[in-house]
Each structure stands twice: as structure tokens, then as C-alpha cells.
Amino acid sequence: MYIYSLEDALNKIAEIVNQCLGPLGSEGFTFDNIRDFLIQLASTIILFLIVRFFLWKPLTDYLEKRQAAIDAELVAAKNQKEEATLLANKTKEEYQNARLEIVKLLDEAKNEANLEKEAILKEAQIEAENRLKQAHQEIEKEVSDVKDKIKKEIVDVAFMAASKIIEKEINTTEYLELVENIIKEASL
């Protein structure tokens, strides 16, 4: 590592500046330097004109077309984003409408099911009442038939008892014994 004194550092800076200035450096202006300077200036102007007339217009046209294409893509992307937002909102609205419709249909189906349930229960109740009435009628008929049968048996028994009583001239003891026998025979 070199440690420069202040004087060495200033000399080094002066040397670098002279190198950068080239012909305008420490030698000053000479004919050769001026001629080289003018050639360089003319070359730079010619180069500038070539670039300006032959390259600048196609380059700016290309950049303008590219900018227009990018702007068109941005506008298209913005339009697509707006359409997507509208479509998303429309889809969301349709989804909500569909949900409401489903809820409505479910409520209607529940109501119909409840009405049908009530109708079935009412029909079953009516049928049960009819069967109960029919069963009561059958029971009453059987009770009536049994009563008629009992009456008939009683009449038969009474007729049989009367015929036996008439057959014999019976005294009171024989009469009571005969009734007891008749009752025993009737209960068998």
C-alpha cells in the first residue's frame, strides 16, 4: 500500500486530467490538433445526421407502435377486468337468486308435505273412525245375536220345563227339584 503525499496526489490528478483532455492538454493548440478536432467534430455531426435521418425515425416509429400496442393491451386488460367484475357480480347475483329460489322451493315442498301429511292423517282418522263404528256395529250385532240366542234358549228351556211340568202332576218338592234340574241342564 502506497501512501501519497499531498504533492504526489496533486501531480497524479494533473496527469489523469491531461490524459483525458488529449490534444487540448499541456501541448496547447497546434495545427494538427485543430485539424484532428475538426475531423472529430465533422465525424460527430455526420454520425448525428445519419442517426437522425436513417435510424431515429424508424426507432421512434417502432417505439410509438410498441407504446400503442402496450396502451391497447392495457385498455383491453382494463376492459376485461371490468367485464370480469361485471360477470362476477352477475354470477354472485344469480347465485343469490338461485339460493332464494331453492329456499322458496324447499318451503313450498315442506308446505305441500305438511298438507299431504294432514290429509293422510285425516284420511287415516276417518278410516279408523269407520272401522271403529263398524267394530261397534259388529259387536252390537253379536251382542244382539247372543241376546236373541239366549232368549231363544230361555224360551226353549221354558218350553221344555213347561212341557215336563205338564207331563207330570207334580207336587211342590218335585216341582223345585225339576226347576233345579232344568237350571243345571241349561248351564251345561
pTM across the whole model: 0.38
Please give the tally of structural domains in the chain.
Answer: 1
Residue 4 included in any domain: no
pLDDT reading at 92 higher than 70: yes
- pLDDT for 182 equals 75
Which grid coordinates are listed for 116? 299431504
Give CA–CA dist 35/43, Å, rounded: 12
pLDDT reading at 24 higher than 60: no
Residue 10 included in any domain: no
Long-range contacts of 142-148 (CB under 8 A, 24+ apart): none
Residue 174 included in any domain: yes
Residue 1 included in any domain: no
Q: Which domain does 155 fall in, by range?
A: 20-187
pLDDT band at 54 (very low <50, low <70, confident <90, very high): confident
Q: What does the pLDDT average to over 166-172?
A: 62
Residue 12 included in any domain: no
- pLDDT for 95 equals 92
Q: What is the pLDDT of residues 131-155, one digit of tens each?
A: 999 989 999 888 888 887 887 777 6
Give CA–CA dist 160/100, Å, rounded: 87
Residue 60 included in any domain: yes
Q: What is the pLDDT of residues 75-91, one digit of tens each?
A: 999 999 999 999 999 99
Residue 5 included in any domain: no
pLDDT reading at 30 higher than 70: no
Residue 13 included in any domain: no
- pLDDT for 79 equals 93
